Structure 1
């Protein structure tokens, strides 16, 4: 069995996944990149030292692909998977009545079912590597308090938060730590797209018009590193996420009123 640690990262072809791969590579971990975008994985791999990573084409919506990808990575990394970064996700904004069934199903399949399938498939490997192995899920500030114009996205991220809390309890006896990171707005390629099919406005413009800040993707990657090595269950990232976390706990009336005003003037939050 290998004497170095390894991490399997979904959504490793760009954005947060790429930054997390670079951070763990700097920490001398062997990195497994998983994505449907093979060209993106190759670009990420070119940023990592030779011989310290492997790539695995994976649609997180398919449980059988999960089984194959993790089996292949287990061989590639030398027989030990210390962490899974359940990171793959898609954004979706817009009023519920404006969303198509296809958009709703795709978002829930990737953001929620993909996390469930990944956790289930990774469990025996993490148990084998424990104690001290870790499942880290990409949640969101949208998993802290529901927002208008984000019903389905919030539902998916509330679900990820629930998965994290439930498995933290369920897997404690197996020596597996479970945690999540909760970014607010990260300036990644995902924000170049519109929030949903009926909108032509890029998500980035909506974030700017709402007066919200972008958190550097490097800060998110550093939080992943701390989450895997630390003891916190939830890890909000950035001013917006930290504000929402405090307000949801201590001032729910304030965040409810603030969110309604944002929707009234047409600014949709997207975490």
Structure 2
């Protein structure tokens, strides 16, 4: 039986690492890509056997995508069955106070990187369809726009839009496309401040708001389900599921709550 393979960006830590190790434990050939080379090696240490690969990739570089996927496909026996667009950064704070560089970086990594990844992955996924999958990492911030998170929300709304568009566009090719929408997950992203002008960690704001922080393993399981399932959106964590339900059935109430909120919500 041919061993299936999966290529995961942002594989040097957090969701990418947990997903890589889960798929490897279940028999897949796993490739991780990141700009954090030390982190990628730590990820590989947690994977037994030789069915693994790591390579540096800046998802903002379209040509680098082609090089990385070609190298991974060669290592994995000439095929790629799934690609996970997981690499991303957090950006928060008032739009009026954000530096243009911060805006550009978030848009380039979180959204343009997903588009580049999908475009580069398409011929590989078409060749292994049916059964191949593109999974894009969105967020609860892609369900409802929150104060202080305009740029980040824009990217995650965009990721969901890309997923929905490609779900239709690639349907004739029988490629599965899905987005995973976590709320607050215990990853290094929570240790950041969101922007250069804040000293308060995102993790502290989440705890102060009384919101849950879910284990990263829950997202890895959702990625597994997305690769093997038929749904378009996979909501991870109570906050994400509640927000999706409320936004669909009580949009007016959600808008009122968000307008009255002084603290941003998101992944």
- Alignment TM-score, normalising by the size of structure 2: 0.98
Structure 1 residue runs of 4+, over 2 Å off?
none
Cα displacement (A) at 1:214: 0.6
More deviation in 183-192 or 102-111?
183-192
CA deviation profile, 1:238-265 (whole Å, cap 9, x unmatched): 00000110111111121112222321xx
Alignment-derived partner of residue 171 in structure 2? 172
Cα distance in 2 between the residues matched to 1:186 and 1:246: 19
Q: How many residues align?
A: 267
Alignment-derived partner of residue 201 in structure 2? 202
Alignment-derived partner of residue 230 in structure 2? 231
Alignment-derived partner of residue 15 in structure 1? 14
CA deviation profile, 1:147-201 (whole Å, cap 9, x unmatched): 1111000000010000000000000111111001000011111111111111010
Matched residue of 1:194: which SS? coil
The reply to whether residue 248 of structure 1 matches residue 251 of structure 2 is no
Matched residue of 1:51: which SS? coil
The alignment yields a C-alpha RMSD, in angstroms, of 0.9
Cα distance in 2 between the residues matched to 1:248 and 1:92: 23
Alignment-derived partner of residue 162 in structure 2? 163
Cα displacement (A) at 1:269: 1.6
Matched residue of 1:89: which SS? coil
Alignment-derived partner of residue 266 in structure 2? 270
- The answer for unaligned runs of 5 or more in structure 2 is none
**1:137-152 counterparts in 2 under 5 A?**
137-152=136-151
Contact 2:139 2:266 in 1 (8 A): no
- Alignment TM-score, normalising by the size of structure 1: 0.97
Cα distance in 1 between the residues matched to 2:266 and 2:197: 16
CA deviation profile, 1:198-217 (whole Å, cap 9, x unmatched): 10101101111111111110
Cα distance in 2 between the residues matched to 1:114 and 1:241: 23
Cα displacement (A) at 1:121: 0.2
Alignment-derived partner of residue 3 in structure 1? 2
Alignment-derived partner of residue 84 in structure 2? 85
The reply to whether residue 102 of structure 1 matches residue 120 of structure 2 is no
